[in-house]
Amino acid sequence: MKSTDFSSREKEVLQLIGQGLTNVEMADKLFISKRTVEGHRQSLIDKTGARNTAVLMRFAYANGIID
């Protein structure tokens, strides 16, 4: 895996992914577009080198980024 240097918004999105929210639900909660949420999710995957969201979440828990 790669980086843990995430923006504050990326960390928010990561927390919400961990809570099981959909992209639309995250967008509504954060007052941003669904496409912006998708961009943050992709950025997180790119930064960590994760192949998918499940691997991303495992990385986040293992590195203490979310609890």
For the chain, the domains span: 8-62
Options 3.40.50.300, 1.10.3720.10, 1.10.10.10, 1.25.40.10; which CATH number does 8-62 get?
A: 1.10.10.10
Question: Tens of pLDDT along 24-61?
Answer: 999 999 999 999 999 999 999 999 999 999 999 999 99
pLDDT band for position 3 (cuts 50, 70, 90): low
Q: Please give the model's pTM, rounded to 2 decimal places.
A: 0.89
Rounded to an integer, what is the distance from CA 58 to the centroid of its chain?
11
Contact 1, 48 (CB under 8 A): yes
Pinpoint the alpha helices (H) of the chain: 8-18, 23-30, 34-48, 53-62
CA gap 59, 27 in Å, rounded = 23
